[in-house]
Amino acid sequence: MITPDKIEEWIQEVAERPDSAASILRLIANRLGELASRNEELLEENILLRSGKRVEEYESRIAHLEYQLDLLKRHFGGELPEAAAAALEDAQLATSQATISVLGYDIHGRVYRLELPSEDLVSESALGRLDGELIPDGVPARLLAAPSLEELLFIFTSGRIAARPVSSIPFYGSSPDRGAPEEVPAAPIPVEPRLGEMLACLAPVSRLPLAQFFVQISRKGCLKKINAAMAQSILANHYIGTGIKSAPDQTFELALCGNADRLALVSREGYLLCLSAKDLPFAVEEVMRLGNSDHLVAALVLPPRASLLIMTQIGKVIHRADESLEIAPSLRSKGQPVFSPSRREQGVRVVGAAAVNEDDWGVALHRDGQLSLHAVKDLFGSGALDVHGELLAFAGLRAPLS
């Protein structure tokens, strides 16, 4: 913005300090050069607009965006134009041929990976035996079942994170044809923990673009919500924060959710707390009051119409149907007991929980390292599973497009 008054002031500056003339001239010349180049760009743009080429370019871009939108709708089950039906069948065929990975991992960062076909799963079947120390430093290994195309976030107790695709972890195959491998050794450690930190959890994050929040949950019932919009910065910094109020509490789980979701927290001593994601705090707050000897063993997001399956170390199945899950009216509650105090006194403890539908599956890790696969409808039918010694962990398994 150059006005006659300003030009007059520049001239006064030169009259006052002749040395300024050179720098004023140089600065104005630089600006003129810039404006000349900008003017040329605008003239070119004008030619493209008048000739209609720019319109064609935008039409082509719009068509491409519409195509991408269709792809997304197909992938996530939105409304589909009829013309896309054939392409959807192809996509379903390709996805159904995808495999599922069952991952066992411990605090030292050791990961065991077994790969299963997503179809022809057999209930009550043995998947293989994890070979190694399964309760290092008194903390049992944990389980996660996820599509093999999934992206995993390794979250450490220091708040550090690292992303790795599931497919980058070496695996052992298990199928009805080949049978279960005798022993499944740990893969080379995918992300080495640094001095003083431990692997807290593995979190699947491929649905991140559809999530509104991360929820970071600590072992002692504290949590914080983080806007998914910060994901880029979190991933770029490799740091999400410890998510705890004070030591010795540690990060336990990271979940992705939307405002309408519910979060279920289940403790080892058998307490269940169900919270609405929209009410969760952005600052770290204690949301579940746990006893001194208690800690969380599962923290999961409940999709609509999903039931909660809770597994004890003796293989007893506890089922909470969708309609019976009550949202806690306030934070910092103790939660509802899922079994009687006498059972608790007898030493019954929860080892895991999963949000499931009738058609889903569950994977259990036994004390002797054996991994077993169970249909959820069978578990609900029998109310228990056969246990080798005791159970260490349990995880739900949802086949792609099941």
Partner 1 sequence: MGLRVGLDFGTSNSGVALYRDDQVQLLPIDADSVLPEVVKSILYITRDYQHYIGQQAVQLYYRHNVGRLRRYVPKKAGEIEYRGADMYYVRDVYVYVDELQPGRLLQYLKTALRRAGGPAGYAGTQVFERYYYVADLLQLFLAALKRRAEALLGEEITAVTLGRPVKFSDQPELDRQAEETLRQAALQAGFADASFELEPVAAALYYEKSLHQPQNALIFDFGGGTLDLAVLRLGDPRQRQIYASGGVSVAGSDFDRAIIQKRLLPHFGLGRVIQQPELLELLHTIPDWIALPELSTPQNRYHLEQAIQAGVAPARLRTLQSLIFNDLAFSFYNQVEAAKMLLSSQGAAVIELKEGGIDLWELYTRLQFEQDIQEHQEAIEQVLLDTLAASGLRPGQIDAVVKTGGSSNIPAFTRMLGRIFGAQKVVASNTFSSVVAGLAIKASQG
> Which residue of 52, 196, 283, 341 would you call a contact of partner 1, by CB under 8 A?
283
| Pairwise CA distance, residues 261 & 397, whole Å | 19
Nearest to 161 by CA among 218, 127, 200: 200
**Strand ordering across the sheet containing 199-204:** 161-165, 151-156, 199-204
Q: Taking CB under 8 A as the rule, which mask of x and - marks residues 284-323 in contact with partner 1? A: x---------------------------------------
Name which of residues 20 to 79 contact partner 1 (CB under 8 A).
20, 23-24, 27-28, 31, 38
Counting contacts by CB under 8 A, is residue 331 touching partner 1? Answer: no
Counting contacts by CB under 8 A, is residue 19 touching partner 1? Answer: yes
* Least distance in angstroms from the C-beta of 252 to partner 1: 16
* Least distance in angstroms from the C-beta of 6 to partner 1: 7
Q: Segment near partner 1 (CB under 8 A), from 185-193, 203-211, 276-284, 361-369? A: 276-284
Q: Is there a contact between 155 and 240 (Cβ–Cβ < 8 Å)? A: yes
| Pairwise CA distance, residues 312 & 349, whole Å | 5
Q: Is there a contact between 194 and 108 (Cβ–Cβ < 8 Å)? A: no
**DSSP code per residue over 195-230:** TT--EEEEEE-TTGGG-SEEEEEETTSEEEEEEGGG
Q: Which is nearer to partner 1, 35 or 321 (CB)?
A: 35
φ/ψ of 266, rounded to 5, equals: -125, 130
Q: Taking CB under 8 A as the rule, which mask of x and - marks residues 121-150 in contact with partner 1? A: ------------------------------
| Pairwise CA distance, residues 198 & 194, whole Å | 8
* Least distance in angstroms from the C-beta of 238 to partner 1: 13
> Which residue of 176, 281, 291, 383 would you call a contact of partner 1, by CB under 8 A?
281
For 90-176, strand residue ranges (E) read: 99-105, 111-117, 125-131, 142-147, 151-156, 161-165, 172-173
* Least distance in angstroms from the C-beta of 198 to partner 1: 20
**DSSP code per residue over 230-290:** GHHHHHHHTB-----SSTT--EEEEEEE-TT-EEEEEETTSEEEEEEGGG--SS-EE-B--
> Which residue of 6, 61, 238, 332 would you call a contact of partner 1, by CB under 8 A?
6
* Least distance in angstroms from the C-beta of 30 to partner 1: 8
Q: Please list the alpha-helical segments (H only) found in 4-110.
A: 4-16, 20-51, 53-76, 85-96
Counting contacts by CB under 8 A, is residue 17 touching partner 1? Answer: yes
Q: Segment near partner 1 (CB under 8 A), from 47-55, 131-139, 222-230, 382-390? A: 222-230
* Least distance in angstroms from the C-beta of 203 to partner 1: 17
Q: Which is nearer to partner 1, 67 or 282 (CB)?
A: 282
102 SS3 class: strand
**DSSP code per residue over 107-118:** TT--EEEEEEES
* Least distance in angstroms from the C-beta of 301 to partner 1: 19
**Strand ordering across the sheet containing 262-267:** 296-302, 262-267, 271-276, 336-337
Q: Which is nearer to partner 1, 63 or 283 (CB)?
A: 283
Counting contacts by CB under 8 A, is residue 330 touching partner 1? Answer: no
Number of residues that bind partner 1 (CB under 8 A): 30
Q: Segment near partner 1 (CB under 8 A), from 67-75, 224-232, 297-305, 348-356? A: 224-232
φ/ψ of 15, rounded to 5, equals: -65, -40
Q: Segment near partner 1 (CB under 8 A), from 16-24, 161-169, 183-191, 263-271? A: 16-24
| Pairwise CA distance, residues 111 & 108, whole Å | 9
Name which of residues 226 to 255 contact partner 1 (CB under 8 A).
226-227, 229-230, 233, 236, 241
Q: Which residues bind partner 1 (CB under 8 A)?
A: 1-2, 6, 9-10, 12-14, 16-17, 19-20, 23-24, 27-28, 31, 38, 224, 226-227, 229-230, 233, 236, 241, 281-284
